[in-house]
Amino acid sequence: MKVAFLSTFALDANVSLINALKKKCDVYFFTEALYEIYNFLDKEKLTKTISKGTEVEELLRFGELISLDKTYVVKGTRNVNIFKKLYISYTINRYIKKINPDVIVIDNYMLTYFFSTLLYRKKMLLIVHDPFLHSGENFMIDKFLRKLQFKLINNKILLNENQKDDFVKHYQQQPENIHTAFLSVYDYLRYYQTDKTESSSQFNILFFGRISPYKGIKFLLDAFVEIISTQKYPDITLTVAGGGNFDFDIEIYKQYSEINILNEYIYPENLANLISKSSAVVCPYTDATQSGVIMSAYAFKKPVIATNVGGLPEMVKHGKTGLIIEPKSSKAIGDAILELYYNRDLLEQMSHNIEEMYFSGEKGWESSANKFVNAFEKIKKQ
């Protein structure tokens, strides 16, 4: 089966998913170099509108995960340049027409693939990363593009099972057209790791990701201040790393030497080293869908403390790969941190469980890819 995978994100889950899919299908991968923080591709280095993956330096390290000769990088432009955007979309569609795929996977609501969406929508599978928009991020442009894409493309795939029924009901979808799969470990991060020395004797708690109100960071900071205020834990530290604007005053937290706040975009090299040096990762979200943060942590076999929201309980098995706690509770966060702090054997067992489940077991990319292939087969029959 011939599959075209249209994306604006080159890395994250996609390189691993494509690696698994290419063992079952003939996969052609398109991605857009527009904002470097989306996929770490510098569009200024591109000399053509569409370049082969073999010509893009930043992708060469992933040659064993994706077929670079079947990978195409689009030199993107912003939506305000509407005529240039449509021309690029038309150019991409000429490539798609030549490939003549049986199924097209698309993972975004951008105009980059507008022509292809119009012409091939019946054979398309839309990856819905966020079945519901996060609180504080319900932007009009996102709502419009989602509505348009949802109307054009019948077949959609969610990356968690928990929200399927609510999604079908809320958006009035046909259940037989809504498929599910799941995320597995973000292998790409290991290709960036530079510091492979042993972890320090410190017990390091890590939060990383885009700073946004729904992330619940204040609950985490308050929990950690409560812990260190007892002066019982001289070897415990917290790092909060990510770009974006805090919706509360962080200055009061900066006075604590045990708290390191890196309010900047964290590039893969730094992120890989931060995770590898951590003891556990915390996702104190007040609402969620699924989380690439969890899969990034699992890439380094790090247990995760996550709140019981969205699809997170599917990803973090309580007591096995981390701890699931109630949302919006600093006490619950603090208790979970101390549970892992006092029980290092449990922490080590969780790390082993992550390796067993996600690197070679039922939660690996091969199993997720099988769910995609099942969806492909149904689309072909339609």
Average pLDDT, the chain: 92
Report whether pLDDT(138) > 60.
no
Overall fold of domain 188-359 = Rossmann fold (3.40.50)
Portions of the chain given CATH number 3.40.50.2000: 2-184+365-381, 188-359
pLDDT at 285: 97
Tell me the mean pLDDT in the region 200-228.
Answer: 94
Predicted TM-score (pTM) of this structure: 0.86
On the question of pLDDT at 136 being above 60, the answer is: no
Q: What pLDDT, on the 0 to 100 scale, is given for residue 366?
A: 95
pLDDT digit string, tens, across residues 94-133: 999 999 999 999 998 778 999 999 999 999 999 998 887 7
Is the predicted pLDDT of residue 178 greater than 90, yes or no? Answer: yes
Buried b (16+ CB within 10 A) or exposed e, 82-110: eeebeebbeebbeebeebebebbbbbbbb
What pLDDT shows up at residue 38? 67
Percentage of the chain lying above the pLDDT 90 cut: 77
CB atoms within 10 A of CB 160: 22
Is pLDDT above 60 for 230?
A: yes
Burial pattern 329-343, b for ≥16 Cβ within 10 A else e, equals bbebbbebbbebbee
Is pLDDT above 70 for 134? no
If phi > 0 it is left, if psi is from -120 to 50 it is alpha, else beta; for residue 299 that is alpha
Q: Which of 59-63, 71-75, 196-200, 251-255 has the lowest mean pLDDT?
A: 196-200
> What number is the average pLDDT over the span 29-41?
82
* CATH of region 2-184+365-381: 3.40.50.2000
Whole-number Å distance between alpha carbons of 268 and 1: 33
Asked whether the predicted pLDDT for residue 175 surpasses 90, the reply is yes
